[in-house]
């Protein structure tokens, strides 16, 4: 199996409180890995370590056989260009219009004409089922479900190699959540990319995942294929599935 991202012995603590305690995990190229775990288990911190937002106390993140933290800033930025990220709270820029939010990365990283940018924004909005009528509105003027779609449209606009979704269905009703899950599946398939999703929503796991890893108290306590979840005798995993 071709490994695209590898977490090697990642340790992170805040003010003496251990959040990640020796995380070892591989993300296989072209597959969709879903990371599950209870709130406060360290999922989002691990994701921030992957993106270089948080520096771990110990350990390495290997992307395409290169250690991410050993690269200089310019190389890190080059690596990050291969990522498309949809944050938990969407992280849309309040002061920018919807089209400016979606096209932000394109404008910053590529030299495109206004027409090319407009076409790409419209295409991206089509893919996530957003009406063009909201293009000139601000994020605060649209619903939570629509904001989630805008965040996904922004993540996929430059057809990234790696897609990251942090709690994509958090705070959404089951119907809207289901639609967001379908959007993720469709776009990951269409782009043929690798995806890493963080969630505690088992519906998302069943729909999106190829592989699943469970994180608990800062450690990976279970890792395997989606089909193996139900047969697993792992106590924490079974508890998590049954409670959720």
Q: Does 191 bind another protein (CB under 8 A)?
A: no
Minimum Å gap between C-beta 54 and another protein is 10
Choose the binding region for another protein from 13-21, 81-89, 197-205, 212-220 (rule: CB under 8 A).
81-89
Cα four-point dihedral sign 39, 141, 122, 104: negative
Q: Does 94 bind another protein (CB under 8 A)?
A: yes
Choose the binding region for another protein from 2-10, 103-111, 185-193, 222-230 (rule: CB under 8 A).
103-111
Among 144, 142, 134, 210, smallest CA distance to 177 is for: 144
Where do we find the tokens 């591989």? 26
Q: Does 109 bind another protein (CB under 8 A)?
A: yes
Q: Which two tokens stand for residue 116?
A: 């090319």
Q: Are 84 and 156 in contact (CB under 8 A)?
A: yes
Show Cβ contacts of residue 143 under 8 Å, excluding neighbours closer than 6 positions. Answer: none
Q: How many residues bind to another protein according to rule CB under 8 A?
A: 21
Distance, in Å, from the CA atom of 212 to the CA atom of 197, rounded to the nearest integer, reads 10
The binder of another protein chosen from 88, 176, 232, 238 (CB under 8 A): 88
Q: Which is nearer to another protein, 48 or 97 (CB)?
A: 48
Q: Which is nearer to another protein, 155 or 205 (CB)?
A: 155
Q: Which two tokens stand for residue 26?
A: 């591989």
Q: 204-237: b or e for each residue (b if 16 or more CB lie within 10 Å)?
A: bbebbbbbbbbbbebbbbbbeebeebeeeebebb
Q: Does 53 bind another protein (CB under 8 A)?
A: yes
Choose the binding region for another protein from 27-35, 59-67, 93-101, 199-207 (rule: CB under 8 A).
93-101
Q: Does 104 bind another protein (CB under 8 A)?
A: yes
The binder of another protein chosen from 12, 105, 149, 179 (CB under 8 A): 105
Write out the residues near another protein by the rule CB under 8 A. Answer: 48, 51-53, 77, 80-81, 83, 85, 87-89, 91-95, 104-105, 108-109
């Amino acid at each position: 199996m071709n490994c695209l991202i590898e977490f090697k012995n990642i340790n992170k603590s805040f003010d003496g409180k251990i959040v990640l305690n020796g995380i070892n995990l591989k993300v296989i190229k072209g597959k969709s890995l879903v990371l599950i775990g209870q709130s406060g288990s360290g999922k989002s911190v691990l994701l921030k370590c992957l993106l270089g937002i948080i520096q771990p106390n110990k350990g390495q993140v290997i992307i395409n056989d290169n250690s991410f933290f050993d690269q200089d800033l310019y190389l890190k930025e080059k690596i990050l260009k291969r990522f498309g990220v949809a944050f938990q709270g969407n992280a849309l820029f309040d002061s920018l219009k919807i089209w400016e939010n979606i096209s932000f990365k394109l404008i910053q990283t590529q030299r495109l004409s206004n027409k090319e940018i407009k076409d790409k924004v419209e295409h991206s909005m089509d893919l996530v089922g957003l009406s063009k009528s909201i293009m000139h509105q601000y994020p605060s003027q649209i619903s939570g479900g629509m904001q989630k779609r805008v965040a996904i449209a922004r993540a996929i606009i430059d057809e990234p190699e790696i897609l990251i979704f942090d709690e994509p269905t958090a705070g959404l009703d089951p119907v809207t959540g289901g639609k967001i899950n379908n959007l993720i599946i469709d776009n990951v398939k269409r782009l043929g990319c690798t995806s890493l999703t963080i969630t505690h929503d088992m519906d998302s796991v069943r729909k999106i995942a190829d592989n699943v890893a469970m994180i608990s108290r800062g450690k990976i306590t279970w890792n395997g294929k989606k089909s193996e979840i139900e047969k697993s005798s792992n106590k924490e995993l079974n508890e998590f599935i049954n409670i959720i």
